[in-house]
Amino acid sequence: MSNSDLHEIDQSHPIPNLDVIDINTVKKGGGSDLFIVIATPLQDDRRSLERLLRKVERYLEFIRTEGFLSESGVANPENTKIIVKLHPDSSRAAFDLLERNKQWVRNNDASLVIDTQL
């Protein structure tokens, strides 16, 4: 699988576009709740799991942009959450992958939350 295959827009995939922020709720006191919405079950194939991690990584990149800083201020794990709305029938591997990467997200100035209520 090439990088272009991994990163291309794929409307048939549960994570169709890696380069968009699905939802950004700016908080009045600073920070944001950023949502990744995965409305159909995510499988445990390599491509799906890599797309999931890349999507989280894109959100971490976003919180360092001028646009984010001007609207939300400086992100930190207390005021900025990346909330992954993961379909409850997704692969256990997807849940485990997110759990294992909570510290990585925290080290990059946000908190990672897994939510299965769609």
36, 56 contact by CB (below 8 A): yes
User: What is the SS3 string spanning 59-107?
Assistant: HHHHCCCHHHHHHHCCCCCCCEEEEEEECCCCCHHHHHHHHHCHHHHHH
Q: Report the pLDDT averaged over residues 67-76.
A: 98
Q: What is the pLDDT of residue 93?
A: 98
Q: Is the pTM of this model over 0.75?
A: yes
pLDDT tens per residue across span 21-58:
999 999 999 999 999 999 999 999 999 999 999 999 99
Q: Which residues contact 112 (CB under 8 A, 6 or more apart)?
A: 56, 81, 82, 84, 98, 101, 102, 105, 106
